[in-house]
Chain A
């Protein structure tokens, strides 16, 4: 038999593609359980204060209603900590806001009741009949007006080494004395994840102490841990299933009040309960990218060497949780500046908590940093790519240690050539095509190449298929497909003979899908478990056939219904025998980072090049070319990785040109409440995005050489577009999104 073709790197189709396009894939809201009930949340219509009374009588009497649950009658989960007890401890696992615990209103549309009925329509109708009275208090929802109250996060106060703490190298605010200097403020509005799939959960108490959740989550194990803790149950009594997740972008990184509400409701009515948020509720109760103000001061020498950068930021958070993200991370390590100061602050407003949104923090920070780089290049009359090259770092200036790998220059070159950077003129407004101004811009992104520990299990089935299992979720990047490819290559089996199962907390331990770390982390576990399985099978074969005892595992290969040995045509062990011998037991391994990585700074890098057209009269902006180039280590699947890059770039177009969630501060309520008001790009807004991967393995992150893609796909796109708009028009927009009203 010929050695199977190598699968790692191949643009293989998604293993679950057919299920997804035919509708066979089942999402959290699509599980139908016997005797199911439906829950609808009622939200507060005021922004701050107390519930003085809540009248549920009409709702309770409405047809089909099984229960109306409020803070007055909700059963209290024994392990729940009250909301806001310690806002300095941001929740990485569970929700910081606990539902139905008290009468306090902390933000508009905070859940105050859940109505459970035997049909969704009846629950929705009855939800309208719940009437609340409030003792209102004055609220604050405006970031600009609250900048003066911004504070250093508690974690930074406690630990000066925290990434959120003030950072200093060289002299403080040295840019102020620079000869050539720039000072500019940048603002990004609140942006909301809005994955296609709405947040949904079906909660089922299978026994008084056994809970099963079909839940939209990025981490089955984290969700299990959270609700086991809340309800005082052993973790193995809680099962979380999230086989298919219709996009999440961060908003299912931890659990939220609606999940608790569904579990409480299921307890009260003693039936499985399904709860799906409305699009409107997706704005208010499952996080967002926080409205953030930033200021950059930068100085440089006339020949284009940066001498100092000061980068400050104030991000919005809630009153009950200090949400911290790495807004200033990229500034500390991207350019060679001898003097560098960062200050990260939070402003607590009467809003729901933010949560990481694709390219969290870094995407926000990169908008300011990469815009400022462009502004400085313009001041110096230097090409912005050349300016970046003059300040390129060959080792990490923050940690003073080498990069594990860095091929950003290669990305610059590839992108510049593809976008036609040589057409770019230093003088803005130089290029036109009829009524359209044309401009070119670039923006750089980076994100830590994180790797954690993870397990995976593997088992041979009688038909010669290998079943692999991991608790990891696949929120859309194609995790299942990448793992299948890794397993296929390691075992020497065609992908059809691999069955990788994921999205179930009963499977082998895996981290939450996020931070671009899944292939880095779960990939090695899959590879190692496949090797362990082969070894195990060889051992089992050896009990009946001595030839296997001395064989190397590389010589073992899989035939139709038996194992064979290279160089020994008579040696064979049938799958039927091996399966019987294994007794249904899977092989499980745990894979951990080696620790060698500590000596290096490990990052993925990207650069995005945009060509935009801006209409001279209407101010409309169209992105006519977008090239995304990434140094993300080894690419396991060119197709799904390319798809990740394109999706991230489209998100960047939205960030640059249209996404903007607006609160009317008089009421503390969003006036953008649906996807007709909150715009995300449609097909016509996105050109055919071109993706380039350096595809060089990183020697230190893991044995596969991967570094991660998900975040760098978005980080740097918005400034590339903003810079291109400046190049086209000479108008510098420092407050996103760049809508036509800012350009006419």
Chain B
């Protein structure tokens, strides 16, 4: 690990200033991702600004939304009564991630900003445009089993690994940030970016911007929800791919509203709006779910080792919707 300075400001502004003014400074929250990356030499910040003393841990309801503090722990959020009652999809997605020990350290802000698990990104001797722009993409013609089928570029085909973010994009969340230029809100769907020519940028956050909270608006998806995570072992593994599904079904079995998003398929959590529209007004049957899945997969393209995702994707969507409908 490199040598670094470590500060623990108690005021948000001090934290923002510390990072905004120093290109080599980084916020640190739970540290479960950043410290790993530092040990491997993938990230080499010269200064760590520990934000754990800032008061961003609360979960409270305001303006018809749940406001979840950026420093709320993944485990706290998943167990929170209001979250479980009003946003059960979020609780399911959180509990599908990592292990209890990690969820007890990991924060909501850190979770959305966790970096890809692409093996080439993690190995500083390998080419990787995300880690070191211009060196090439090691995965493009390499071992790309875990990689993207949507929205990639020839510069980067990595996927975003967060489970929580898949639920948040489905639930139309908004990210609250505070930065050198003041406060702003970013719709969750615009928070992460596609790689394009600048895969080194995961998100649309500006330097020094601090996430303070995430708002999840009230919605009718309190019953028919499911987070389907397909992985190589029963727990404690990143998703081969995952699906967040939420349905609002009337008494006659017709779908009034639907939300659908996928994880492990793109550089950002992948909202499937076209497939959602297919579902609205249809009966909650396997046939409707298949139709939605077919629409959802339009435009998907595979590489040498992730071709299975083209088959697994629609199946997982159907499975998620079936389970959500039966919930």
Contacts and interface: CB of A to CB of B under 8 A. Distances in A.
Contacts of B240: 740-741
Contacts of B138: 664
A622 interface: yes
Interface centre among A435, A617, A662 (most CB of B within 10 A): A617
Given A658-B232, A669-B123, 13 more contacts: A617-B315, A618-B230, A618-B319, A619-B230, A619-B312, A657-B232, A658-B233, A682-B233, A684-B233, A740-B240, A740-B312, A741-B308, A742-B308
A205 interface: no
Interface stretch (B114-122, B205-213, B260-268): B114-122
A45 B119 CA distance: 15
A71 interface: no
Interface string A615-649: 10111101000000000000000000000000000
Report which residue of A435, A622, A681, A685 has the largest number of chain B beta carbons within 10 angstroms of its beta carbon.
Answer: A685
A45 B125 CA distance: 7
Contact of B312 (A658, A676, A744): A744
Contacts of A618: 228, 230, 312, 315-316, 319
Interface in A290-335: none
Contacts of B236: 682
Nearest to B316: A618
Nearest to B311: A744
Contact of A684 (B117, B142, B234, B319): B234
A620 B315 CA distance: 12
Interface string A591-627: 0000000000000000000000001011110100000
B318 interface: yes
Contacts of A684: 233-235
Interface stretch (A121-129, A234-242, A459-467, A719-727): A121-129
A620 B231 CA distance: 8
A433 to B, nearest CB: 15
Contacts of A673: 119, 122-123
Contact of B1 (A125, A667, A685, A737): A125
Contacts of B43: none
A744 B319 CA distance: 13
Contact of A669 (B125, B231, B311, B312): B125
A128 B41 contact: yes
B39 to A, nearest CB: 9
Interface in B233-274: 233-238, 240
Contacts of A617: 315-316, 318-319
Contact of A679 (B126, B145, B237): B237
A620 B316 CA distance: 11
Contacts, number: 85
A672 interface: yes
B319 A667 contact: no
Interface in A728-744: 737, 739-742, 744
A681 B315 CA distance: 25
A741 B315 CA distance: 12
A620 B1 contact: no
B1 A121 contact: yes
B320 to A, nearest CB: 10
Q: Which of A435, A620, A671 has the most chain B CB atoms closer than 10 A to its own CB?
A: A671
29 contacts: A45-B125, A125-B3, A128-B2, A128-B41, A617-B318, A617-B319, A618-B315, A619-B230, A657-B233, A664-B138, A664-B142, A667-B125, A667-B126, A669-B125, A671-B123, A671-B143, A672-B119, A676-B238, A677-B119, A679-B233, A679-B237, A682-B233, A684-B234, A737-B232, A740-B230, A740-B308, A741-B240, A741-B312, A744-B312
Nearest to A739: B232
A124 B143 contact: no
A666 interface: yes
A620 B123 contact: no
A288 B238 CA distance: 24
Interface in A172-192: none
Contacts of B315: 617-619, 744
Nearest to A674: B122
A679 B232 contact: yes
Majority secondary structure of chain B interface residues (helix, strand, loop or mixed):
loop
A316 to B, nearest CB: 18
Contacts of A435: 319
B106 to A, nearest CB: 14
A125 B3 CA distance: 8
B143 A676 contact: no
A283 to B, nearest CB: 12
Given A669-B125, A679-B237, A125 B2 contact: yes
Contacts of A45: 125
Given A617-B316, A676-B117, A740-B312, A124 B1 contact: yes
Contacts of B141: 666
A362 B308 CA distance: 32
B234 A682 contact: yes
A295 B126 CA distance: 35
A453 B228 CA distance: 56
Contacts of A615: 319
Given A45-B125, A666-B142, A673-B119, A620 B235 contact: no
Contacts of B123: 669, 671, 673
B318 A681 contact: no
Contacts of B1: 121, 124-125
B164 to A, nearest CB: 17
A75 to B, nearest CB: 29
A622 B315 CA distance: 18
Nearest to B238: A676
A658 B237 CA distance: 11
Contact of A681 (B117, B233, B311): B233
A677 B121 CA distance: 13
Most chain B CB within 10 A, of A657, A739, A741, is at A741
Interface in A677-707: 677, 679, 681-682, 684-685
A107 to B, nearest CB: 14
Contacts of A619: 230, 312, 315
Counting chain A CB atoms within 10 Å of each CB, the highest count among B122, B145, B232 belongs to: B232
A451 to B, nearest CB: 38
A666 B117 CA distance: 20
A686 to B, nearest CB: 9
A617 B123 CA distance: 34
A618 B234 CA distance: 13
Contacts of A677: 117, 119
A740 B143 contact: no
B120 A671 contact: yes
A619 B120 CA distance: 27
A626 B145 CA distance: 30
B263 to A, nearest CB: 14
A679 B138 CA distance: 22
Nearest to A742: B308
Interface string A93-128: 000000000000000000000000000010011001
